A and B are shown apart, each in its own frame.
Chain A
Amino acid sequence: MLACLCAVLWHLPAVPAHNRTGDPGPGPSIQKTYDLTRYLEHQLRSLAGTYLNYLGPPFNEPDFNPPRLGAETLPRATVNLEVWRSLNDRLRLTQNYEAYSHLLCYLRGLNRQAATAELRRSLAHFCTSLQGLLGSIAGVMAALGYPLPQPLPGTEPTWTPGPAHSDFLQKMDDFWLLKELQTWLWRSAKDFNRLKKKMQPPAAAVTLHLEAHGF
Chain B
Amino acid sequence: MAAPVPWACCAVLAAAAAVVYAQRHSPQETPHVQYERLGSDVTLPCGTANWDAAVTWRVNGTDLAPDLLNGSQLVLRGLELGHSGLYACFHRDSWHLRHQVLLNVGLPPREPVLSCRSNTYPKGFYCSWHLPTPTYIPNTFNVTVLHGSKIMVCEKDPALKNRCHIRYMHLFSTVKYKVSISVSNALGHNATAITFDEFTIVKPDPPENVVARPVPSNPRRLEVTWQTPSTWPDPESFPLKFFLRYRPLILDQWQHVELSDGTAHTITDAYAGKEYIIQVAAKDNEIGTWSDWSVAAHATPWTEEPRHLTTEAQAPETTASTTSSLAPPPTTKICDPGELGSGGGPSAPFFISVLVTLALAAAAGSLLI
Contacts and interface: CB of A to CB of B under 8 A. Distances in A.
A, B from the same assembly: yes
A77 B173 CA distance: 7
B342 to A, nearest CB: 15
A181 B312 CA distance: 60
B171 to A, nearest CB: 5
Interface string A67-100: 1100000001111110011000000000000000
A180 B171 contact: no
Contacts of A167: none
B195 A65 contact: yes
Interface string A24-52: 00000000000000100100000000000
A199 to B, nearest CB: 13
Contacts of A38: 286
Given A41-B286, A186-B287, A81 B334 contact: no
Contacts of B176: 65
Interface of B: 122, 148-149, 168-176, 178, 195, 199, 236-239, 285-287, 333-334
Given A78-B170, A79-B170, A194-B237, 19 more contacts: A63-B195, A65-B175, A65-B176, A65-B195, A68-B174, A78-B172, A78-B175, A80-B169, A80-B171, A81-B122, A84-B171, A176-B174, A179-B174, A186-B199, A186-B287, A187-B171, A190-B286, A193-B239, A197-B236
A78 B173 contact: yes
A81 B168 contact: yes
B237 A186 contact: no
Given A193-B239, A193-B285, A183 B149 contact: no
A68 B147 CA distance: 11
A190 B237 contact: yes
B172 A193 contact: no
B334 A189 contact: no
19 contacts: A41-B286, A63-B195, A67-B149, A68-B148, A76-B174, A77-B174, A78-B170, A78-B173, A78-B174, A78-B175, A80-B169, A81-B168, A84-B171, A183-B173, A186-B287, A189-B286, A190-B238, A203-B334, A205-B334
Contacts of B286: 38, 41, 186, 189-190
Going nearest first, the 5 A-B pairs with the smallest beta carbon separation are A77-B172, A187-B172, A189-B286, A78-B173, A65-B176
A206 interface: yes
A165 interface: no
A79 B122 CA distance: 12
Nearest to A203: B334
Contact of A67 (B148, B171, B285): B148
A108 to B, nearest CB: 21
Interface string A186-202: 11011001100100000
Contacts of B172: 77-79, 84, 183-184, 186-187, 190
A173 B324 CA distance: 58
B228 to A, nearest CB: 14
Interface string A159-192: 0000000000000000010011001101101100
Contacts of B148: 67-68
A76 B175 CA distance: 11
Contacts of A67: 148-149
A63 B236 CA distance: 33
A213 interface: yes
Nearest to A84: B171
A81 B170 contact: yes
B178 A65 contact: yes
Contacts of A189: 285-286
Contacts of A65: 175-176, 178, 195
A36 B199 CA distance: 19
Contact of A78 (B149, B171, B195, B287): B171
Contact of B171 (A41, A81, A213): A81
A84 to B, nearest CB: 6
Interface string A49-69: 000000000000001010110
Contacts of B149: 67
Contacts of A180: 174
A179 B173 CA distance: 10
A77 B199 CA distance: 13
Nearest to B199: A186
A81 B171 CA distance: 6
Nearest to B336: A203
A35 B293 CA distance: 27
